[in-house]
Structure 1
């Protein structure tokens, strides 16, 4: 009888542990990346944008002007002018002569895109949310929001 109760207890424990599920947010990271990619591609289609390159990270970009000379590295201090937009083209931020160290910048899409141009270069970045402010967003940007940045690299130093 003790064996039977022990076996019954083990079966019940296995059954209950197998049924327990981890609670997940509505989108996991790979689902969000797919959603973002579709949203960016829909933006391109709607605005008839065809001259873009997709980085393996998921970042899309267009080099408007390549600039001159060497390109910044992740350890560079850069100075840029930029304007940021949501995919509906609502501007949310703009700055002139904004100075920062690229390696410490919050937006990973910038860390990927800025080294693609030289001094005086301009680039348009189409950034999926995972390479921008992610699920948390920022004070000006809701979570899981794709962004567009028009950036001019004024200069940099290492």
Structure 2
């Protein structure tokens, strides 16, 4: 008899627990839907569709900007994409597509601390390379009750608060070299940079001060003394160690000319000499590509400024 009573109590407790969970799930769905509808109205957003793939369960809203090309993306496909995001409360904004760059498998998006909703949307809604969309992710498919980041939510851009829905823009890159060239040209236009020459490889260079030596004198066996800086196109310097104190690149070592990234090698060997000041803007394929050192995002175009003080062979 006692065993039967205990069993009945367990079943009743399980039933109450299930009812409570369903109520919580329903409440957060209603909360997210209200958040999204209010956000759409407050920002006068138009052209958004509700995600109904798989039975209208995600609560996401999306707008395809560019439909993309090729075969539909699978979770096992490795992709490269850039993105921007902001929380609905306006306290977190991340709009730098130089830094916000993902390069991994579709199925690993969530493992990279990006929202589960983003992974679902790229696979089910955007679907193609070279596609772009704007996406409104409900909090339950974003960072949930705990939010994301460190510090106080009162400090702008330090933390995404709990139960915050997110506004994403995503562009899946199809051809990295084409995308990088567009980024570089936009960067030069925005910063009024003129006088650059584009080589067949995609390198942009500008000789600011012609050298006293002969162009072509820098080669694999050259010892080159130079001051230089290296920066991302968002203005962040990743190398200023030799800005005022000259560095020397010597043959037969990892720090020789042949140890530099391809775009810098091309620029110095093909267009510089002793006394030359030269500016180089590299697409990521001529820079650090998918394996950059710490402080440089994957597939980030870069800019170098060199002042060659001495060349010996």
The bucket for the TM-score relative to the shorter chain is: 0.7 to 0.9
1:26 pairs with 2:181: no
1:42 pairs with 2:186: yes
Distance 1:24 1:154, change over 3 A: farther
| Corresponding residue of 1:97 | 246
The one of 162, 187, 195 aligned to 1:51: 195
Structural mapping, 1:122-141, within 5 Å: 122-141=277-296
Distance (Å, rounded) in 1 between the aligned partners of 2:236 and 2:185: 18
Contact 1:76/1:103 (<8 A) preserved:
no
| Corresponding residue of 2:210 | 66
Distance (Å, rounded) in 1 between the aligned partners of 2:191 and 2:290: 26
Distance (Å, rounded) in 2 between the aligned partners of 1:33 and 1:75: 30
SS at the partner of 1:26? strand
Q: How far has the Cα of 1:129 moved from its partner?
A: 0.6
Q: How far has the Cα of 1:24 moved from its partner?
A: 4.2
Query: Could you tell me the TM-score, scaled by structure 2's length?
Result: 0.41
The one of 266, 278, 291 aligned to 1:112: 266
Q: How far has the Cα of 1:74 moved from its partner?
A: 3.3
Contact 2:230/2:302 (<8 A) preserved:
yes
Distance (Å, rounded) in 1 between the aligned partners of 2:221 and 2:282: 21
- Cα RMSD after superposing both structures: 2.1
Q: How far has the Cα of 1:30 moved from its partner?
A: 7.4
Contact 1:74/1:111 (<8 A) preserved:
no
Contact 2:285/2:299 (<8 A) preserved:
yes
The one of 303, 308, 311 aligned to 1:148: 303
Distance (Å, rounded) in 2 between the aligned partners of 1:24 and 1:34: 20
Higher relative contact order (CA 8 A, sep 6+): 1
Unaligned runs of 5+ in 1: 1-20
Unaligned runs of 5+ in 2: 1-73, 81-102, 104-172, 250-255
Query: Could you tell me the TM-score, scaled by structure 1's length?
Result: 0.79
